Structures are given as structure tokens and as C-alpha cells.
Structure 1
């Protein structure tokens, strides 16, 4: 009883505040103008940050590791220049002409356009361990001795034993896959694809692709440079294109910004069109939209103050909050129109509307805010910021209606304006209101059976770990980038382990190669490269062996050897003549890959993924486990850094936190409704349609082959917070003294339908976005709203009618009024 009296007092306070704003509209509107101008001022510099790293807390090891990487090593990836549409010789001339000039640009550190295969092939035997090198020497000695015996006419072999083998494939196989072989590459000296008729040049910028302004700067510099070149000399169809990490970042940002702008504009247009259809009054539309627009200005002013930028999820919140805010206006203005039609004065109608319907709107906004705040429990910054901003937006939307709508209605009343009213017994809702009391048993059976079928399939839903499904890989730069990777034979963006000494560098390489060997075919590591590892040990001892081999081979006449032996021994003679080398002798395009921003070398280990795609989240998580937690002899621990590991952390976090957030959302909603409604039973009844809708959505996803991902999984708590108010409005109105089912259902059902449709509109706009991640959010949200609409308009009222009939038959006093007798 105390709780109920508290809620009644709060209802009265809202009604009195609304009535005061109605009597003194100018004070309320001046305050609105000041708050709106302040909101717009603080929101003016908001920008979108779509960087993965920005989605995790700064204290995460993977974030700290990549920050260290960027400060010391620079950004990952390249600006890739591709020449295409010419014959191989013309493509090579283009690479030779452009590479030196490209390297002179102010934002380019170096350019790689040729494979270092000649150097590594020449020095290949220095990468062979000394025992294996001596084995090679022994095999060559044995073959030379055998060849000399065969050439001696006086020598008679008493058996038919084959000649000693000079096949070194077993030893070559032992060293296959090491960094020197993989970095040297196979095929042409140039990064050339004769089939695609394209050649690749990789320009390494000085800055990081995470800095969008810098990415635009360096890509623009490269594109302007290419635009000034005379390309006609390479052939009539020759052209250039730019791709790589920096270019893809810009294109992705452009697509997201375009999608968000399109979604927001489309959502507002759809909201206006629906409101015109719903109210059939231009002034009613304005009365509904003005508080929404003011509330959005206030909300994004807060965002500008608190965060300074929006991320992929919070960027489209304007469309969503607009739809959710309009729902309050539909309920409030609809109730106001009904009361005015019943003969109430404007002020009395405002006070009564806000006392009951406004209190219901406050409950729904508070519940939605608490649900959104459950997302704020997440360490995933995208979820946390979404939750906080959405919660603020929901509460601000109710405050804007309490402040602005009564004031506007007060001004309109002075000009004797009356809203158009709709007969609750007319239209589709009226027909449905008269039909349900006669058919509720069949309706409940059909809806209940459908919900049970969906619930039975919910266990089949799965989680999609492939990040490629959430990015627009149909863009020209993304398609071209994949072709570049195919030409290179490995990814352009390895993860990096930073070390502090040469001994640590060697230890990291040793441990990673040991992990790769231990996992065998299941390993996710392709190869590991370090500058120190590219300069083999014991070169002096190896040179002695090689000189001995070269001395013996030089005395042979190749023309007297069999063709198969001649080729092998000639190649061995060429490699045996190679001299020892140092880091300074390595090809410059290899050294550059291990250089820090200050030009120093060493302390950098590159780890390339193999057997898995780093866009495949499940494979990325396995890769992350394999390259992390390297224990050094001094007790310290080092880990690899890279955007792939950021993705792995995000996926781990979402899969770990998802169930906890969902439970917190349900419990927070239940607690809020229990406190505000005064009874646990009432709270549970109001939540029933929402809970059934969420479970039904999961089952429908399984039937349609849809999957959760790390973006759209947040739709579940959003649905809980945004659909629970429908049950609140219906129960509150049916509980009013003298209410009958047909009039309440006709009026409230129409408002509920409008509210759900406007809530869905913000998500409908996302379905038309080009970004697959935004598409998936829109798909799930609108399926959820559709299921909820069926349950709240058909299943839930039928359940209430059945319970009411049962209670009457058993002599209990109903809490909801008896519906009128069915018409003949």
C-alpha cells in the first residue's frame, strides 16, 4: 500500500508539473530553447570513430600492446598502389619508374615492389644448420667419387647399385616455411600477376591507419601523385588503383557515415509519414516531433561533452531514439485528444494525460533506461557507451515531453485548437476489440502454439564469429586488396611481438616455432620472422664447409655429368660461392619491415597467420591463444599485438558477457516495474509479452538461418527495454475505474501499434544500409518488434480475457473490468 501511495503521489506530481507548463508556456519554451542551443553547441564537433581499438577499454592488454606498437613501430598495413591493364614488361617498367618517386613522398617511409628472392636463393645454404650442411657435403662427396669411378675406364663395378643420391629435398623440406623462404616468395621478381595483368607496389606510411585524418592525408597524397603521372606510355588500357589498410579504412568510414546519415534521414521521413497517417493533422505531427528533436539535441550535447565522438553502435542511436521518443508522443497526444473530446478543458486534459499516460511513459522510459544501463556493465566500449547514451536519451525524451508538449498545447488551446479524435470502436483496432472477446480461445491457442514452436527451435541458434560478414567487402578497395594478398602469398598485416633485446627476440622466435611444430597441422601460425633470425649463426663455420664443397665442385666438368645431376650440382656450386652477410647486407625491402619509426632495427618479431583467416573470429581466437603469453627466461611475459587480437578480445568478451547482460536486463526491468507498479505479480504480467517475444525471436532466427554476432546481440536487451511498455500501458488502462475492454483496447491498441511501429522505424532504416553489421541489427530488431506486435495485440489480450473469464466463473473479484457482452 505504501508503494502504491508513493506511485500515486508521483503520478500527481507529473500531472501538476505538466499543468504548470501548460499555464506558463513561454517559461517552458524559453528553457527549451536554451537547453537546445546548448545541446547543439556541444554536439557540433561530434565525429564517428569506427576503429576496432576504440571499442575496448584502454586498460586492456591488447589495447595497450597495440598502442605501444603504433608508437614504436608505426601503423600496420600499407598504401598499396596497383598498376593494371598492361603486358608484363610494361607493368615492370611502371613499377621501376614509380617506386622511387613514390618513396620520395613526405608521408611514405619506404616502398616495396620486388621480391628479395635472388638474395635468399643465393644465401640459402647459410640458413641450413651445420650438421645438415655437412650431410649435404657428404652426399656431394659421395656422388663426386662415384662419378670419378664411372669415368675411369679401368674401374669395374661388381654390383648394380644406383649412384649416390644428390637429392636434397628431405633437407629442403625441413627448412620449408621459414621466414627467409616465405619473405623471398615464389615466381617473378616483381609482385606481378600475369593473368590479372596487374603489378603491386606497397608503400609504408609514417603514421597509423587508426588515425582517420592521417589515413585521408596519405591516401590523398598518393592519389594526387598518381593523377599527375603520364600513364599512356604503359599502354592504352593501363590504369592505377589504390588499396591496402589505409584506403580500406577510409572507404569503410565513408560507407558507415553514409549509412548513418541515410538511416537517420530515412527514419525521420518515415516517422513523419507515419505520424501524418496516424494523426491526420500537421499540427499534431509538429507537437509530437518538436519534443523528440529537442530531446535528441540535448542527448547528443551530452554525448559531445562525455565522449566527443560516436562509435559504430552509438552513431545510429539518433534514429532509434527518435522512434522510441515518438512513441511517448503518440500515447500522450492520443490520450489528450480523447479527454478533450469527452469535454475536459485543455489544462485538465493535460494534467490527466500526464498523470496516467505520462506516468506510464515514465515507467517505460525508466525501464528502458535500466535495460540499456545493463549494457553499461560490459567492458566492450561499444556496448557500454550505447547503454549509457540510450539510457540518457530515454529519460531525456520523457523530460522533453513533460516540458515542451504541455506548453505547446497551452499555446494551441489559446487559438481554440482541438486535436482530431478517432473513435476507439472504429477502424481495425475497433474491429479487433469487438472480435477478440468472441474468439480469444482460438487466438490464444494459435498464438501460444506458434510461440511454443519458436521456443522449441531456440536452442539451434548459433553465433557468427566471421568479422567479414559485418564489413562491406564488396567495395572495390576490399576486393582488390584480396587480390593483392593472393599475389604476395601471405597477409599484409602480421601481428607483431615487440622485444627489448636480441636474446629475447631469439627466444620469442624459438617459442613460437616450437608451438607451431607442437600443433602440427592444427597450428594457426604460417611463419615467424625476425631480423636477427634472418642473419644465421655460425656463418664462419658454414663458410668453411661451403668452400670445401665449392672447391670439389669446381673441379668437375659439368658437361660430363648426367643432366639431372648437372643441374643440382651447378646450383649447389652457385650457393656454395656465397659470402657471409650481416643485417646491413639484407635487401632493403626486408630490413624496412623490421624497422621502428626512428629507423632503428631489432626487437620486432612478425608473426603471420596460416591455415585461418584473420576475419574468421573463431580462427582468430585460436591464433590469439597460440601467439600470446610467451614466458621469457627472466620471468617477464610478452604477447603479440595487432588488430586481429583486438577482434579476438572483442569476441571473447561478448561471448562471456552476453548471458550476464541479458540476465541483468531482465532483472533490472523486473525490479523497476515491481517498484513503480507496486506489485510483483503486475510486473511479471507486464513483462510476459516481452519475454515471450525475445524467446520467440531466438527461435525464429534458427528457422530463418540468422545468426548472432558481436554487434546484433545487443538487440536482445534493447527489445526488452523498448517493448515492455506496451504491457504497462494496456494493464494500466484496463485497471482504471469504469474502463471497458473495447474502448481501452481500441484506443490503447492503436497507440501501442503506433509506438511499436515508430520504435521499429529507426531499425527499419538500418536494413537499407550497405554495412552488413548494421543490416544484421536492423533485421533482428524488426523481427523482434513484429513478434512482439502479434503477442501484445493478440496473444496477451486473449490471455487476459481468459483469466478474467476464469476468475468470474470461480467467484473471485477481477482486477480488470468486465468486458461488455459480445454483440449479436
Structure 2
């Protein structure tokens, strides 16, 4: 069959496969999907986002000139946004001050509160006692110097709040209800999309509409304010568009640099165009296979494309070089000649990247799977197609020599001594790079949504402390006692100086036993409502002072006609309770917080770790949030790093023995790898860079690539009888091209939008450069020198 017919048939088949595959592939913008689901901290973050009312809202922070302008403007802006198409609800500071919601919340808290306290409220206002009680209240109002106390009794003359422990009500302020800064100039607004946002494109379009509307309203009203956008829709839109941008940027940069390198070394236009076309085919097929294997492309697996391009192009160049060396060969013979080395290299590379499945981070595991798929796909495409395109069409021109100057063995020895001394000196001076246990490696490198979230944390928090969420879970029957047990533990930690404070809104938790015990008092208050109201008015109070009592008793009246006891709050109370208490498959979960020394978003990690360990011992309560996630992931990644590295090292050792069958070459391979990794660490130490959750995976990747380069050089040295100059001018050039394309692939990841992928790319890029320089510049001399000693 003619070549054009083969290409046409292959193109049609490719279109069908790629079309079917890409139609199923989706972009996964949820960073939590790239983390191990078995960690309680990850599960807690998912609950924090998905289970609690408002967890997926857009958060808008506005900084005004003063508190008065802020309060007035936020109210009017909220009403305006509520009228927008696509907006389901708007919540801001002051939402909870309306009588209906405040009354419903108080009613729910009282019916789940202390039976003795509510009974005491009833006893104080029974029969004729109500008049005497109201006179005492009036005397308090007249003599109290405390404005807060005066306001309280003015709106609660019958003393319903006496049925609650006020310290429990105050704890709600530390549990997520603060929507304004201490000075009142910074306010936060929560905006929910109608029907929710299901994809990053939809989230981006909806967010852009909100931004335009807010900007136009501020301009129209003549209000000056600095606006920050964060929350789930902002992160979703930013992450999704970032994935697309990174894919285009890394692939484009890698393609350009590889093209320039190819042209400098080979100066052949037609083969270059064929290689570029085949690389596109490899990418499309890899994405199609990913739709079958993974079904998604996450933020941490997006870097596969640049890495695959840097690896697969080597296979094409190897076949091209073989065709130049053997212009008499047909496609079948050329394929037989080139395939063994390509298959061996692809197999080693695939195994190394698949080892990332044991890294502890599913996101890195997905990256490993994607690269392995791309490498195997590239192997098949290049071996099957490339020989058909170049066989018999290339003249034996060879590759331009590096130069004829011969480096002396003595100079190589001096360079080796200086290098070992320098690396050792830097590591002794600066120390081995540490390991950053924070979760920063999982976050975007540049993110307006993350910057907005940090501003919200800083302005709503206090400068010298940091609050971290905690979750308490249990059945409806046990959750109250568990919350009280948690409070007792946290009080102890506060007494020890480990905690600054805590907020556990146990007053809002359902207590079925308390509801049954309080029913009698509640029925009495509802039945005596009109008499009690008349007594209040006769004592001289206004109608406004009865608004809260009316709302509480009206709510109770509705509840008593429905299901009793209530397992969860309903009506207006549910709007508030849903922010901190959510139903689960097994019961309920409550959201609270602990406060430790530090600053907003940056707690004292030592104290936080101590709190986490003490809470975990209970089994039903644990910290959540990004601050505690970093510590949990650090332990998991360290453990899985050994599980990943040790078997891989054993496998590579077996491969080295099978390849060389002598200890000398095995030791040299390990020496190159060890010195290369030591050089990487010295470079990191000088740059002030630490290992993190993602970059630690560079070590097993460098083990694979570094050994491959050394194998090629030492096999060539054995074949050429330790002729250093000849090996450097032939095999050395092929290894140089292969290494530089790998460097280009990893280097393009440095500019990725995800901090972890960027750090992984930087570590792999620097490490590969170190190993490549050692393999090409020193390893041939080491082997020749040891060969003479052995001879």
C-alpha cells in the first residue's frame, strides 16, 4: 500500500479514536480530588465545602473608608445583587439581626438547652410573679451603666435568654459568624449561584457577571471600596482556566525549544515537520487513553504533556539517526534495528513514572499514569510510523562534532575533586535542604482567589492569632455529649497555654432528650403568650420589646404541631444552624474552631500539631483546613516515599547488573547518581529552597533518568574500548539531545500554575542538568581511568 494511503487510513482511524476519547475527558478543577481521600483532614475539607450551607458560595470582601459607609453600602449592594439573574441568595453582616431569624435561632437553642434553666424561666414569670419580675427588669434598665445589658433587656424583658448559658452563645462568634472586621470597615458578603455552578467555564462566566455588576454599582453610587473575590466559584474558575493556560503554555514552550534544539543539531526541515506531526498525534492519543483510564485531567497531572514531548521526541530522533547511519535499510529493517533500545528506554521510563502511584498523593499518581500512557503511546507511534517516513530518504551525514580538542584525564580528575569538595562544602555550610510540611505546594503559584482568601482571613482575624476549623461528628443522640467532651478538652488545652481560645457552638446542636424535657415549659409559654405580652405592656415596655418573644413563641407553635422532637432545625433557624451543623450519612457533624498563637492563616505549627494529636485521640473530633492538612500529608508522603523509592532502587540495581554484569560499572552508575543528587541538594541549599510534598517525587524520577544516561555512555565506552573522545562525539551527542529535551520538558513545568508541579519541575530540571553534565563530562574519564587500573 502506498504511503499516502497508509497515512489517510491512519488519519481516519485517529480521528475516530480521538473524537470518542476527548468527548469523555473532563478537566478536574477540584484540588481536593488530587489528595488522599482516606485522610480525615481531606475528608474534613470536603465536608467544610460541601456539607455546610454556604460552603460553595462566592465570597466577596470589601474594604471601605469607615464602618458607617461599610454597613450602609453592604446592605444596599446585597439587595441589588439579590435582584440579579442567576443569584439565589446573598448573605452579609447584619443578616442575623432580623427578628424572625434571631427568634427562630433562640427558639431552637432553648428547646435543646438546659431543662433546669428553661424551667427556671417559667417559674420566674408564672402567675402573679411576672409583674414583680418585670419591675426588677425595669430597675436594672434604669440603673445599669452597661449599654449591652440595657439593649438586651429592652428586647428580652421576659428573660428568655436566661434559659441559655451566655458563654455558649458567645462561642458562636468564634465559629464562623463574624462577617465584619473589628473596626467595621471591612465586610464580607456570601453570594450563592442559582442552581450552583457545575463547571469552571460556567463558574467563570457567572463570576465575571458578578464582578461587572459590583463595579458598575460602586461607580454609579459613588462609593469607593477595594473588592476581593474568593470562595469555591472563584477557585473553580481560576483553576480551570489555569489548566488550559498551562497546557497551552507548557506544550508551546516545549515544542519551540525542542524544535530549535533539533534544528541546531540536525538542520533537516522535512523530518522536523514529520516529527512535529507525530508528536501531535501522540498527545491526542494520550488524552484519549486518559479518558478511558482516568476520565479526567487534574491540576496536578496537567504537566504530563511537556514531559512526554521531551521523552518521545528522543525516539523519533533515534530512528532518524539510525536511518542516516544506514541509508540502505528499508522501513522493516530500520524498525528492527531501532526498536530494542526504544522499548528498553520506554519500559524503564514508564516504570519510574508509575512508581509515583506510591507517592501518597493521588494527583502525582495521575501525573505518573499520564506520562506512562504518553511514553507507551509515543513508543508505538514512533516505532510504527517513523521508519515509514524516513527509511531510504536520509543520507549518512552524521551529526556535527562537538569539537576536536581532547580533554586530559588529569583535568577531569581535578574537576572531580573540586566538584566533590564544593558540593560537600556547601552541604556542610548550608545543611541538607529541609522538608516543608505545609500545604503550600498544593496551592496555585499566583492566584487572585487565594490572595483574596488571605485578605479575608487577615481582616476578620486578629493580628496575633490564627483560627483553624475543627469538626465534631456523631449520631444525633451522641453529638451533644461529644461536643461537651470536646469543650472540656479544649478548655484544658487553653489552661495549659496551648490554645488562645476556641469556638464550639454546642448550643445549636440537637438534643432529643432535652427537647422532650423542655416540651412542658415550651407548651406553657406558647399557651400563656397573650397574658405575658399584656403584662409586659402594662409594665411600661413598648411593642418593639415583644418582637423577639413573638418570633420565639410563633416558631415553637409551628414546631409543636409538627414532628417532635426535631432531629434538625427547620425554617428560619435552619439558615443559621446549617452554617455550623450538617447532616451526614451516619448522623451529624458540627463545625467549630480553635485559636492558637500566630497570625491569620499562619498558626504556630508546633502548637497546632499538639492540639491535633490530643483531639485525634478522641476519635470523633479533628482539625481540618489547609493548615492542619500540610502536617498530615507530610507524614503520609514521607512514609510512602520509602515505599516508592526502595523497590525502585532494587529494580534499578537488578537492571544495572543485567546490563553490565560487573561491579565497576554498577558502582560508577551509582556514583554519578549520588553526586548528581548531592549537587541538586547543594543548589537547593544555595537557593534557599526546601523539599515539599510534590518535589520529593523528583528523587525517584532522577534515579531512572540518571541511570539511563549512564548506561548509554558506559555501553558505548565498552564498545569503543574506552575511547573517550569518540564516545563523546557519537553516543555523547545522542545522550546530550535526549537529556536536553528532558530538561526542556521539566523546565517548562517551572512556570505551571500549581506550586507543587512547579517545584517538581524545578527539582527535576536542575537534577537532570547535574546528572547530564556528570555523565557527559566526567563519567567516560572515570571508566577509562578504572579500566587502566584494572588492566
Q: TM-score range by the shorter chain?
A: 0.7 to 0.9
Deviation at 1:802, TM superposition (A): 0.7
Match 1:516 to one of 460, 476, 490: 490
Deviation at 1:217, TM superposition (A): 6.6
8 Å CA contact 1:209, 1:246 repeated in 2: yes
8 Å CA contact 1:102, 1:111 repeated in 2: no
CA–CA separation in structure 1 for the residues paired with 2:307 and 2:775: 21
CA–CA separation in structure 1 for the residues paired with 2:664 and 2:207: 61
Match of 1:720 in 2: 703
8 Å CA contact 1:766, 1:775 repeated in 2: yes
For structure 1, the 5+ residue unaligned runs are 1-22, 135-140, 149-172, 545-573, 632-636, 809-824
For structure 2, the 5+ residue unaligned runs are 121-135, 144-164, 526-544, 557-568
Deviation readout 1:561-610 (Å, 9 max, x if unpaired): xxxxxxxxxxxxx9xx9999888899786445246599x9x944112242
Deviation at 1:280, TM superposition (A): 1.6
Deviation at 1:804, TM superposition (A): 1.7
CA–CA separation in structure 2 for the residues paired with 1:221 and 1:499: 41
Deviation readout 1:28-55 (Å, 9 max, x if unpaired): 7567546643553244243332423212
8 Å CA contact 1:531, 1:594 repeated in 2: no
CA–CA separation in structure 2 for the residues paired with 1:446 and 1:589: 69
CA–CA separation in structure 2 for the residues paired with 1:298 and 1:267: 18
Match of 2:15 in 1: 37
CA–CA separation in structure 2 for the residues paired with 1:441 and 1:638: 61
CA–CA separation in structure 2 for the residues paired with 1:775 and 1:370: 22
**Which aligned pairs between 1:377-456 and structure 2 lie closer than 5 A?**
377-410=358-391, 413=393, 417-418=394-395, 420-423=397-400, 426-428=401-403, 430-431=404-405, 434-437=406-409, 439-450=411-422, 452-453=424-425
CA–CA separation in structure 2 for the residues paired with 1:205 and 1:627: 36
Deviation readout 1:224-269 (Å, 9 max, x if unpaired): 6546x64456325457553334323322433343233212211111
CA–CA separation in structure 2 for the residues paired with 1:216 and 1:493: 29
Matched, 1:760 2:746: no
Larger mean CA deviation between 714-723 and 291-300 belongs to: 291-300
**Which aligned pairs between 1:474-513 and structure 2 lie closer than 5 A?**
475-489=447-461, 494-501=469-476, 503-513=477-487
CA–CA separation in structure 2 for the residues paired with 1:303 and 1:713: 25
Going from structure 1 to structure 2, the CA distance change for 1:394 and 1:661 (only over 3 Å counts) comes to: same
Larger mean CA deviation between 638-647 and 737-746 belongs to: 638-647
Deviation at 1:657, TM superposition (A): 0.7
8 Å CA contact 2:615, 2:621 repeated in 1: no
Deviation at 1:292, TM superposition (A): 3.3
Greater Rg over alpha carbons, structure? 1
CA–CA separation in structure 2 for the residues paired with 1:210 and 1:639: 30
Match of 2:297 in 1: 310
CA–CA separation in structure 2 for the residues paired with 1:181 and 1:453: 54
CA–CA separation in structure 2 for the residues paired with 1:310 and 1:76: 24
Deviation at 1:320, TM superposition (A): 0.7
CA–CA separation in structure 1 for the residues paired with 2:308 and 2:274: 17
CA–CA separation in structure 2 for the residues paired with 1:72 and 1:470: 22
Match of 2:579 in 1: 593
Match of 2:774 in 1: 791
Deviation at 1:306, TM superposition (A): 1.0
**Which aligned pairs between 1:258-297 and structure 2 lie closer than 5 A?**
258-297=245-284
CA–CA separation in structure 1 for the residues paired with 2:468 and 2:196: 13
Deviation readout 1:288-335 (Å, 9 max, x if unpaired): 444433333332221121112112232111111101112233344334
8 Å CA contact 2:724, 2:780 repeated in 1: no
Going from structure 1 to structure 2, the CA distance change for 1:409 and 1:457 (only over 3 Å counts) comes to: farther
8 Å CA contact 1:32, 1:294 repeated in 2: no
CA–CA separation in structure 2 for the residues paired with 1:237 and 1:40: 51
Going from structure 1 to structure 2, the CA distance change for 1:374 and 1:767 (only over 3 Å counts) comes to: closer
Going from structure 1 to structure 2, the CA distance change for 1:299 and 1:674 (only over 3 Å counts) comes to: farther
Going from structure 1 to structure 2, the CA distance change for 1:584 and 1:806 (only over 3 Å counts) comes to: closer
Deviation readout 1:315-363 (Å, 9 max, x if unpaired): 11111110111223334433443x24xxx62449x847963x6533332
Deviation at 1:467, TM superposition (A): 2.5
8 Å CA contact 1:372, 1:718 repeated in 2: yes
Larger mean CA deviation between 512-521 and 798-807 belongs to: 512-521
CA–CA separation in structure 1 for the residues paired with 2:470 and 2:195: 17
TM-score, length-normalised on structure 1? 0.71
Match 1:76 to one of 46, 50, 55: 55
Deviation at 1:800, TM superposition (A): 0.7
2:317 is paired with a residue of what secondary structure? helix
Match of 2:125 in 1: none
8 Å CA contact 1:40, 1:301 repeated in 2: yes
**Which aligned pairs between 1:699-718 and structure 2 lie closer than 5 A?**
699-718=682-701
8 Å CA contact 2:472, 2:483 repeated in 1: no
Deviation at 1:524, TM superposition (A): 8.5
CA–CA separation in structure 1 for the residues paired with 2:247 and 2:467: 30
CA–CA separation in structure 2 for the residues paired with 1:663 and 1:777: 20
CA–CA separation in structure 1 for the residues paired with 2:193 and 2:72: 23
8 Å CA contact 1:321, 1:394 repeated in 2: yes
1:376 is paired with a residue of what secondary structure? helix
CA–CA separation in structure 1 for the residues paired with 2:10 and 2:729: 34
**Which aligned pairs between 1:601-616 and structure 2 lie closer than 5 A?**
603-611=588-596
Task: State how many pairs are aligned.
Answer: 697
CA–CA separation in structure 2 for the residues paired with 1:585 and 1:179: 23
Matched, 1:532 2:526: no
CA–CA separation in structure 2 for the residues paired with 1:742 and 1:353: 29
8 Å CA contact 1:82, 1:242 repeated in 2: yes
**Which aligned pairs between 1:233-382 and structure 2 lie closer than 5 A?**
234-235=221-222, 237=224, 242-337=229-324, 339-340=325-326, 345-347=328-330, 351=333, 355=337, 358-382=339-363
CA–CA separation in structure 1 for the residues paired with 2:253 and 2:439: 27
Deviation at 1:375, TM superposition (A): 1.7
Larger mean CA deviation between 383-392 and 742-751 belongs to: 383-392
Deviation at 1:720, TM superposition (A): 1.9
1:310 is paired with a residue of what secondary structure? strand
Deviation at 1:756, TM superposition (A): 1.0
1:285 is paired with a residue of what secondary structure? helix
CA–CA separation in structure 2 for the residues paired with 1:28 and 1:454: 58
CA–CA separation in structure 1 for the residues paired with 2:197 and 2:670: 46
CA–CA separation in structure 2 for the residues paired with 1:211 and 1:627: 36
8 Å CA contact 2:314, 2:738 repeated in 1: yes
Match of 1:20 in 2: none
Larger mean CA deviation between 759-768 and 359-368 belongs to: 359-368
Going from structure 1 to structure 2, the CA distance change for 1:235 and 1:626 (only over 3 Å counts) comes to: farther
Larger mean CA deviation between 778-787 and 580-589 belongs to: 580-589
Match of 2:713 in 1: 730
Please give the root-mean-square deviation of Cα atoms over the aligned residues, in Å.
4.9
Match of 1:191 in 2: 180
Match of 1:463 in 2: 435
CA–CA separation in structure 2 for the residues paired with 1:43 and 1:32: 16
Going from structure 1 to structure 2, the CA distance change for 1:295 and 1:723 (only over 3 Å counts) comes to: farther
Deviation at 1:792, TM superposition (A): 0.6
Going from structure 1 to structure 2, the CA distance change for 1:31 and 1:644 (only over 3 Å counts) comes to: farther
CA–CA separation in structure 2 for the residues paired with 1:30 and 1:174: 79
TM-score, length-normalised on structure 2? 0.74
8 Å CA contact 1:467, 1:615 repeated in 2: no
Deviation at 1:59, TM superposition (A): 5.9
Match of 1:7 in 2: none
8 Å CA contact 1:39, 1:298 repeated in 2: yes
Going from structure 1 to structure 2, the CA distance change for 1:235 and 1:109 (only over 3 Å counts) comes to: closer
Deviation at 1:712, TM superposition (A): 1.6
8 Å CA contact 2:469, 2:593 repeated in 1: yes
CA–CA separation in structure 2 for the residues paired with 1:273 and 1:308: 34
2:698 is paired with a residue of what secondary structure? helix
1:462 is paired with a residue of what secondary structure? coil
2:719 is paired with a residue of what secondary structure? coil
Deviation at 1:510, TM superposition (A): 1.4
8 Å CA contact 2:201, 2:240 repeated in 1: no
